[in-house]
Amino acid sequence: MSTLIINIKQLLQVHDTNTTILKGSDMKKLPIIENAYLYIENDTIIEYGEMKDCEGFNPETTINAKGKIVLPSWCDSHTHVVYAGNRTSEFVDRINGLSYEDIANKGGGILNSAKKLQETSEDELYEQSIKRLNELIKMGTGAVEIKTGYGLTVEAELKMLRVIKRMKQESLAKIIPTLLAAHAIPSEFKSKKQDYIKYITEELIPKAAELNITNYVDVFCEKGYFDIKDTEAILKAGEAYNLRPKIHVNQFNILGGIALGVKYNALSVDHIEELNDADVEALKGTDTIPVALPGCSYFLSIPYTPARKLIDAGLPLAIATDYNPGSSPSGNMNFVVSAACVKLKMTPEEAINAATVNGAYAMGISNMYGSITRGKKANLIITKPMNHYSEIPYAFAHNPVEQVIINGQILD
Ligand code: NIG
Ligand code: FE
């Protein structure tokens, strides 16, 4: 199968050599080719360049992208797409004045989603989740991390992992599963948290590792959930099974999760609505990427990640949706890119870099995804007609995507 895209107004994120992460001031650079072509064979980007040099191809399909922009598909490195039902009643409770914490203290929140998930059959959970995934693919996401974490028992967590595995087999999108081993403390363990930590480290992690589906482990490192000591015990247990941390830190409180993540060579530390100077120092010179989740800040009305502080310190930054029923019930990366500009004060170039190559890095796949590079996977967005890529974040809450190509396949 071969496809030639011609007359592309702007081809974005073009790197001749395999760029896998952009840091600090390099995030302001977004290499583009004006009036470009792109040639794909099977699932791979083969060639690209200026239209005047477009010759010698004999493609099965030609797409005329006149007046349109082509860029790599969004790489959404933090989601909880697999969940059961929703939490609209808590949404209304919050409008009426309760906080996220109040709701959790009443037994709502993650425990509410866990109960629903435990009661939902594996097939039904798959159907609900694949529907959400298909919706976000249409909005331009081509690679996505999916966490467990709404199981809270070995049985339900393994069910989640099997659902993610099935989604991986059925979907064209690249899926990176993460074992969110410690998301909340079930009510029956409320007064014996250490027993639950033991259950996670001695039963859940070994059994999940046996399935051989995931390479990553996650913990919600937060007051009222898992403190630094708990988090360290879980990261240590994960390390024994070669599970690299991708952790929830600094959402409401700074507990030292960033430095701990760095100590355990975390691939990413996510949320960071709260940040101090020691956190910034801890990240410098490491392989750990911070990830901002502006949809969560928007939905919970909590601070936005201080992106400028991170980027201006020379660090990389990725942005992701955090798609989940409680704190961010949207998987729309176009909105996230826009919110990154409006609320995190990132330039359109920085936001697009954060949502493509750096998002791919935060999933450990940036050698094959996240940029227009010969040999990388043909996961692409073709936008609606527009004059400049800045219109993508500018027209917030619009869908700029006209067509998507995933693994070289043109989706309707
Ligand atoms: O990333 N913060 C922890 N986990 C999710 C929210 C979970 C929920 O409320 O269901 C998050 O925001
Ligand atoms: Fe999350």
Domain boundaries, the chain: 2-73+370-411, 75-361
Query: Do 2-73+370-411 and 75-361 agree at the fold level?
Result: no
Is residue 410 a contact partner of residue 63, using CB atoms and an 8 Å limit?
A: yes
Cβ neighbours of residue 248 under 8 Å, at least 6 residues apart?
A: 218, 219, 220, 221, 222, 257, 270, 271
Torsion, Cα of 219, 221, 227, 229 (10° steps)? 50
Question: Strand 380-383 vs strand 69-72: parallel, antiparallel, or unpaired?
Answer: antiparallel
- Starting from the CA of residue 225, give the closest ligand: 1
* Ligand 1 within 6 A of CB of 298: no
Angle at 189 between CA 254 and CA 224, to 5 degrees: 15
Q: Which of 93, 251, 324 to mutate to test the pocket of ligand 1 (most atoms within 8 A of CB)?
A: 324
- Any binding-site annotation on 78? yes
Strands (E), 257-374: 268-271, 289-292, 318-319
Whose CA is closest to 42, among 374, 365, 409, 369? 409
* Ligand 1 within 6 A of CB of 321: no
* CA atoms of 354 and 126, how far apart (whole Å): 29
Give the pLDDT score at 67: 98
Is residue 359 a contact partner of residue 33, using CB atoms and an 8 Å limit?
A: no
- Any binding-site annotation on 324? yes
- Any binding-site annotation on 388? no
* Ligand 1 within 6 A of CB of 180: no
Is residue 44 a contact partner of residue 378, using CB atoms and an 8 Å limit?
A: yes
- What's this model's pTM, rounded to 2 decimal places? 0.98
* Ligand 1 within 6 A of CB of 322: yes
* Ligand 1 within 6 A of CB of 356: no
- Starting from the CA of residue 268, give the closest ligand: 2
- Starting from the CA of residue 251, give the closest ligand: 1
How far is CA 41 from each of CA 44, 45, 294, 409, rounded to the nearest angstrom?
A: 5, 7, 36, 10
Which residues in the chain come in under a pLDDT of 50? none
- Residue whose structure tokens are 């467990």: 148
Give the pLDDT score at 106: 87
* CA atoms of 329 and 132, how far apart (whole Å): 10
* CA atoms of 217 and 207, how far apart (whole Å): 13
* CA atoms of 326 and 108, how far apart (whole Å): 10
Residue 303 has what DSSP assignment? P
Given the candidates 3.20.20.140, 3.40.50.12780, 3.40.50.150, 3.90.110.10, the CATH classification of the domain at 75-361 is 3.20.20.140
Is residue 144 a contact partner of residue 174, using CB atoms and an 8 Å limit?
A: yes
Instruction: Tell me, in angstroms, the distance from the centre of ligand 2 to residue 79's CA.
Output: 6
Give the pLDDT score at 107: 86
Instruction: Tell me, in angstroms, the distance from the centre of ligand 1 to residue 328's CA.
Output: 8
First to last CA, the chain: 16
Whose CA is closest to 289, among 270, 308, 275? 270
**35: which 2 tokens?**
């009036």
Write out the CATH class of domain 2-73+370-411: mainly beta
- Starting from the CA of residue 296, give the closest ligand: 1
Is residue 291 a contact partner of residue 318, using CB atoms and an 8 Å limit?
A: yes
CA-nearest residue, atom 5 of ligand 1: 327
What does 274-290 look like in DSSP terms, one character per residue? S--HHHHHHHTTSSPEE
* CA atoms of 291 and 286, how far apart (whole Å): 14
How large is the ipTM? Answer: 0.97
Backbone conformation region of residue 316, classed left if phi is above 0, alpha if psi is from -120 to 50, else beta = beta
Is residue 69 a contact partner of residue 372, using CB atoms and an 8 Å limit?
A: no
Instruction: Tell me, in angstroms, the distance from the centre of ligand 1 to residue 80's CA.
Output: 8
Q: Which of 78, 79, 80, 180 to mutate to test the pocket of ligand 1 (most atoms within 8 A of CB)?
A: 80
